[in-house]
Amino acid sequence: AKVGSRIEVIVDEVDAEAATCRTKADAPEIDGNLFIDAGFEGLAPGDIVTVDVDEASDYDLWGTRV
C-alpha cells in the first residue's frame, strides 16, 4: 500500500551497499526497514530524509531519495 508514496524516514545505519532506514512510526529491530540502495552517499545515522517508495516485500520497503 505504500508503494508510490512519499514518506520521511530516519536513517539507522549506512554501509557500503545501502542505507537502512525506518519510518517515524516503526520501532527499530521490531518493524520492517526501508532501504535506500542508490544515492545514499553522505547519509549518516540519525539523518531524516524524504523518499519515494519504489518496492515492497512482505516486511521491508525500498525507496529513492528525493
Q: Which residues sit opposite 10 in a β-bridge?
A: 22, 48
Spell out the per-residue pLDDT of the chain, length 66, in tens: 789 899 999 999 999 999 999 988 888 878 889 999 999 999 999 999 999 999 999 999 999 999
Q: What pLDDT is attached to residue 26?
A: 87
Nearest of 11, 9, 36 to residue 24 by alpha carbon: 9
27's CB contacts (< 8 A; 6+ apart) are none
Cβ neighbours of 17 (radius 10 Å):
9
Superfamily classification of domain 5-65: Nucleic acid-binding proteins (2.40.50.140)
Place of cell 516486511: 59
First-residue to last-residue Cα distance in the chain: 19
pTM of the model: 0.89
Q: What pLDDT is attached to residue 27?
A: 84
